[in-house]
Amino acid sequence: MPNGEFKGFMRKKKIRIGILAFQGGVAEHKEASLQALKNLKQDGEVVLIRSRKDIKNLDALILPGGESTVFYKLVLNAGIFQELKKIKNIFGTCAGAIFIAKNIKNKIKGQKSLEVMDMEVDRNAYGAQGESFEENIETKLGKINAVFIRAPKIKKVGKNVTILAGNKKNIIACEERGKGRNYLATCFHPELSTTKFHEYFIKNLVL
């Protein structure tokens, strides 16, 4: 799949998934997304988002991890902040989850998010990168190996948000659907260990 495409037959329409390509596991998310399309037998392409022209005709957007405090600056410098807010289906992992949250706890001065998903996230709640860890966790998608790297914590969610992993006191993954807008957030990095969340995002939130 040299062009970042997979030809399948889940539905006739070909979908276009964008990955914000400024920082984080961009290559890993692309590989996981392509494998998810293949597993679902769904026609689609995966493109890297760096400028306004890349956003055209996107069906979904994936926000990788990285440094949450510079997410806003990178997006603002690229001139795509408002365009990203309009995308109807967004999957945020780690710092990407922080960037879609309506509220950020312990944010630094000037730090902003897209404010599209009804949740409050505490940045770097699990500590520094040296305290990163892996853990087998139970999710509504099955048991997975979750990789936490300077992970945030989802402190609370709105009434329309469904918890997919963890519990009300320790939310690890969640989704929000409604009014034609769908969001998926994980505190960990699924792209490093599984395609289950990419498949779930495509099948249940995008299609």
Question: Is 191 tagged catalytic?
Answer: yes
Catalytic residue among 28, 45, 187, 189: 189
Point out the catalytic residue in the list 29, 83, 94, 175.
94
* Per annotation, catalytic residue among 187, 191, 198, 199: 191
Quick one: CA dihedral 24, 176, 33, 114, positive or negative? negative
DSSP three-state, residue 202: helix
Give catalytic residue positions: 94, 189, 191
